[in-house]
């Protein structure tokens, strides 16, 4: 199978030297990419800016902004059997990007922000998709309720939920996996490497089941 995996944060420019971003390290997405390769599958890794080296033997696509990630995902989604959207895409970007560095002044300054395009949602809306669609949900509160909402609204097959306070920038995570048919699975705190292996097994089994049902 071919897995398309997004990882890391995005950078949304404000001017040539400043951007809006978040604390995603990319570790979970890169661990899923490694585990996917170890399981003998192919990987298209679409990554925002991170301090990690891409695993060897992936088709690696480096992007910076949410728009670049959106374009790259849509260009390659149909080549894949499983799309795992692990990236922490910025929710907002600057309405206008200044072509020159914005100067410091003593007056108050406000920045107009507009929503970025939701990549996961745009794939979920596609009626013709053949790939299994997996979203991630990092929450600080009401984990299960928010993740269930995401599963429905973004029309995913699976949502992997984690507490953002445990998973962000660290090597460990704790996961709650929600499936479209209402099934749920919990994996207690473990290394991202271990969790990634479990996830890859779950994703490939789920895609296999989907395909058998459709035949
Ligand atoms: O709604 P929220 O951003 O928390 O949803 C998280 C999930 O949606 C993740 O799988 C993330 O990769 C994906 N996402 C996306 N494009 C966005 C925002 C989130 O693909 N613009």
* DSSP category for residue 24: -
Phi, psi of 144 (to 5 degrees): -65, -40
Query: Along the 215 residues of the chain, how does pLDDT read in single tens digits?
Result: 999 999 999 999 999 999 999 999 999 999 999 999 999 999 999 999 999 999 999 999 999 999 999 999 999 999 999 999 999 999 999 999 999 999 999 999 999 999 999 999 999 999 999 999 999 998 889 999 999 999 999 999 999 999 888 767 788 889 999 999 999 999 999 998 999 999 999 999 999 999 898 76
Q: pTM here?
A: 0.95
- Could you tell me if 12 and 96 are in contact, meaning their C-beta atoms sit under 8 angstroms apart? no
Question: What is the token pair recorded at 69?
Answer: 């990630």
Q: What secondary structure letter does DSSP report for 1?
A: -
- Pocket-testing residue among 9, 48, 87, 155, ligand 1, by greatest number of atoms within 8 A of Cβ: 87
Q: Which residues line ligand 1 (CB under 6 A)?
A: 6, 66, 85-87, 89, 116, 118-120, 135-137, 150
């Amino acid at each position: 199978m071919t897995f398309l995996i997004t990882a890391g944060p995005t950078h949304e420019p404000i001017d040539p030297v400043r951007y809006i971003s978040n604390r995603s390290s990319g570790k979970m997405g890169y661990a899923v990419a490694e585990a996917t390769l170890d399981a003998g599958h192919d990987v298209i890794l679409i990554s925002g800016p991170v301090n990690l080296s891409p695993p060897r033997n992936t088709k690696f696509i480096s992007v910076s902004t949410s728009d670049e990630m959106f374009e790259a995902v849509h260009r390659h989604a149909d080549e894949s059997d499983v799309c795992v959207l692990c990236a922490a895409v910025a929710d907002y970007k600057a309405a206008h990007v200044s072509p020159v560095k914005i100067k410091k002044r003593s007056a108050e300054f406000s920045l107009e922000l507009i929503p970025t395009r939701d990549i996961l949602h745009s794939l979920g809306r596609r009626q013709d998709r053949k790939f299994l669609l997996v979203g991630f949900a990092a929450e600080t509160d009401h984990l299960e309720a928010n993740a269930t909402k995401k599963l429905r609204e973004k029309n995913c097959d699976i949502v992997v939920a984690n507490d953002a306070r445990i998973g962000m920038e660290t090597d460990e995570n704790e996961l709650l996996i929600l499936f479209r048919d209402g099934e749920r699975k919990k994996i207690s705190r473990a290394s991202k490497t271990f969790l990634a292996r479990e996830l890859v097994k779950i994703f490939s089994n789920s895609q296999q089941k989907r395909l058998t049902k459709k035949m």
